[in-house]
């Protein structure tokens, strides 16, 4: 890495582990974060070369799933197998020279232009977007919580008013029944009085008719 920018971005994976869709999505995430041009500086490095070997790795990559082959194509077939466990000094130097050769090749393909300003701009914009999204999310959550509290308070108030209305309604109904009961009782008493008056009136009328029916004595 130079002070003016980055010569290459190394994506390191274990050759003995299965290259998953998550690994492939990591490359896509880096592209989204730093821009499409980042892949021009990207190199795929597979470790544990002592266990796999060049021949087996090439066979694995040839028969690899589509998402891995797509990642290799994005990196323009810049793939390096690295033996990170060897103690052989000569092998260490040779594989380091091979890695640097791939780095120089990527740099040459980019016209010697390093990846620097683009990266800093991407990081700044990404952080700004992240901060903006987080701020909007917090505002949305606060508004939702406030709205939920208002709705809960309104629901509790409505339930309280409904309970009071039911209680008042029950009181009014009992009061009305009591009032109607008293009026009904008074009405029945009046009916009984009227019946009594009719009986007395009938008796008086009968007595009066009897008197009229009797023959009058001659004076």
Residues 103 and 15 in one domain: yes
pLDDT value of residue 219:
45
- Total number of domains in the chain: 2
Beta strands in the chain (DSSP E): 9-14, 42-47, 79-81
Domain presence at residue 1: no
Residues 27 and 38 in one domain: yes
Residues 134 and 178 in one domain: yes
pLDDT value of residue 137:
82
Task: Give the whole-angstrom CA distance, residue 8 versus residue 117.
Answer: 14
pLDDT value of residue 107:
81
* pLDDT per position as a tens digit, 42-77: 898 988 888 888 888 888 888 888 888 888 888 888
pLDDT value of residue 183:
66
Task: Give the whole-angstrom CA distance, residue 174 versus residue 54.
Answer: 96
pLDDT value of residue 113:
77
Token pair of 142 as six digits: 């606060």
Distant-in-sequence contacts of 23-26, Cβ < 8 A, 24+ apart: 23/68, 23/71, 24/67, 24/68, 24/70, 24/71
Domain presence at residue 214: no
Residues 78 and 167 in one domain: no
pLDDT value of residue 215:
58
CB 11 within 8 A of CB 27: yes
Which of 80, 115, 150 is the endpoint of a domain?
Answer: 115
Residues 13 and 109 in one domain: yes
47 strand-pairing partners? 14
Residues 133 and 173 in one domain: yes
Residues 135 and 95 in one domain: no
Task: Give the whole-angstrom CA distance, residue 48 versus residue 53.
Answer: 8
Q: Is the backbone of residue 43 left (phi > 0), alpha (psi -120 to 50) or beta? A: beta
* pLDDT per position as a tens digit, 16-35: 887 777 877 888 888 877 77
DSSP 66-115: HHHHHHHHHTTT-EEE--SS---HHHHHHHHHHHHHHHHHHHHHTTT--B
Residues 15 and 84 in one domain: yes
Residues 136 and 183 in one domain: yes
If residue 147 lies in a helix (H) or strand (E), which one and from where to where? Answer: helix 117-213
Residues 121 and 67 in one domain: no
Please give the residue range of the domain that contains residue 23. Answer: 9-115
Run means of pLDDT, 10 residues per run, the chain, 219 residues: 71 83 81 80 88 84 83 86 86 88 85 68 69 82 84 83 76 72 69 66 59 54
């Amino acid at each position: 890495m130079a002070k003016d920018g980055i010569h290459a971005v190394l994506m390191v994976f274990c050759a003995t582990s299965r290259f998953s869709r998550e690994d492939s999505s990591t490359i896509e995430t880096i592209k989204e974060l730093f821009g499409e041009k980042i892949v021009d500086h990207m190199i795929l490095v597979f470790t544990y070369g002592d266990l796999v070997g060049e021949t087996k790795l090439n066979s694995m990559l040839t028969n690899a799933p589509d998402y891995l082959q797509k990642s290799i194509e994005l990196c323009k077939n810049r793939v390096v197998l690295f033996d990170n466990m060897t103690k052989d000094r000569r092998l260490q130097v040779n594989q380091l020279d091979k890695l640097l050769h791939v780095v120089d090749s990527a740099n040459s393909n980019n016209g010697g232009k390093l990846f620097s300003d683009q990266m800093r701009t991407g990081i700044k914009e990404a952080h700004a977007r992240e901060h903006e999204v987080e701020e909007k999310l917090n505002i949305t959550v606060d508004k939702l919580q406030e709205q939920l509290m208002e709705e809960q308070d309104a629901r509790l108030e409505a339930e309280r008013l409904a309970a009071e209305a039911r209680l008042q309604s029950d009181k009014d109904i009992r009061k009305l029944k009591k009032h109607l009961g008293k009026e009904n009782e008074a009405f029945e008493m009046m009916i009984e009085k009227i019946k009594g008056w009719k009986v007395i009136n009938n008796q008086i009328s009968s007595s009066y008719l009897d008197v009229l029916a009797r023959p009058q004595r001659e004076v």
